[in-house]
A and B are shown apart, each in its own frame.
Chain A
Amino acid sequence: MISRNAATSTPISALPPEPERLHSLRRDEAQRAAPALPVSAPPSSPFPWSPDDPALRHIRTDANPLLPRLLARLRTTPGVFGRFSSLPFVLLMLFGFVMPLLCVVWFGLMPSKTFSLLQWPTLENYRTIFGQTYYKSILWSVGLAMLTVAILLVVCYPLAFALAKVFRGGATFITYAIASSLFVSENVRLFGWVIGFMKNGVVGGTLARLGLPIDSLLYNVPVIVLGMVYVYLPFMLFPLALGVKMVPDQVREAAFDLGASRWQVFRKIDLPLSMPGVLIGSLLVFVLSIGAITEAKILGGQKVVTIAADIETEFTYGQNWPLGSALSTLLILLTTVLVFFALGRFDLEKFLGKKPREN
Chain B
Amino acid sequence: MEKLTKGEVKKVAELSRLNIEEKELEYYAEELSSVLEYARQLDELDTSSVEPMTQAVNLQTVLRDDIQEESNTNIRARAVEVLMRAVPFKHNGFAKVKSVFKDRN
Partners in one complex: no
Interface residues of A (CB under 8 A from B): none
